[in-house]
Structure 1
Amino acid sequence: MKRIATALLLLALAGCGTIGLKKPEVSLSNIEPGSSTLFEQNFAVTLRVANPNPVPLNASGVDFELLLGGEKLGAGSSNQPVAIPSRGEGTVTLQVHTSLAAWIRQLGNWQQLPGGKLNYEIRGKLHDLSGVADLPFDSKGEWQLPKR
């Protein structure tokens, strides 16, 4: 009986590798300041996730890091479920925690931006996708800072 169960498990895992899910397209939708202390700042980061696959993406959580202007601003993690419909999109709002040093470095960079445009990169993983595996993502783009 154990051999049959092991064979079925191996067959299922092999099948998952051939499904060939495409990486989701992730873009930065918004950054809002949150609570802060002397040593740590928090931001609510909203990501837009587009699913190019013919099946929904259901994950048990997400980990990511956010780089602005080529420098790491911070990282975030959530164990909240993420559900993106097949060939659809949705938004996910996560908390990013930064250190005082990273924030001061970024603030100096932002003041020198031509036209208020900021290059960003988001790297991370959707965890336990449909209970099977993690799905990595990596996205680059440009974000327009809000006008004052």
Structure 2
Amino acid sequence: MPEFVPRNARLEWASLFAAEWTRLAGGRADHEFLIDQGLTLVRVVGDRPPADVARQHFENTPEPEQLVRDSESNFTALAAELGLIKPGDRLDQMHIDFAYGIAELCAAVGDNYGDSSSASAGQHIRALYGPL
């Protein structure tokens, strides 16, 4: 990419990068984090197709599970830690829906932080803990 690329072109490249990475992760990824990664990468490798860069990034991430979104496992671990279920048991759908509801309540508070030109805390909370 040329040295100066309009912001909307960089954002489009980053969005395509994040979409491919998310696809590779089976739909479970922190999209906001990946957009930030894409906005950084576009400045260096923006002359390459974003899907190719996403595949290389995904395959070469030492611990991609750190970027893979798995809110239900987090909810299950917390429920076991608090004694709501036995370790190794699974949450039923009602418990999962309840946890997503709490995440949405927290995200609604986070929506009030940040400005309109950047991601809010609420968007980040939804990306990590909202329903897929």
TM-score calculated relative to the size of structure 2: 0.26
Q: Which of the two has higher C-alpha Rg? A: 1
TM-score calculated relative to the size of structure 1: 0.24
Larger helix proportion of the pair: 2
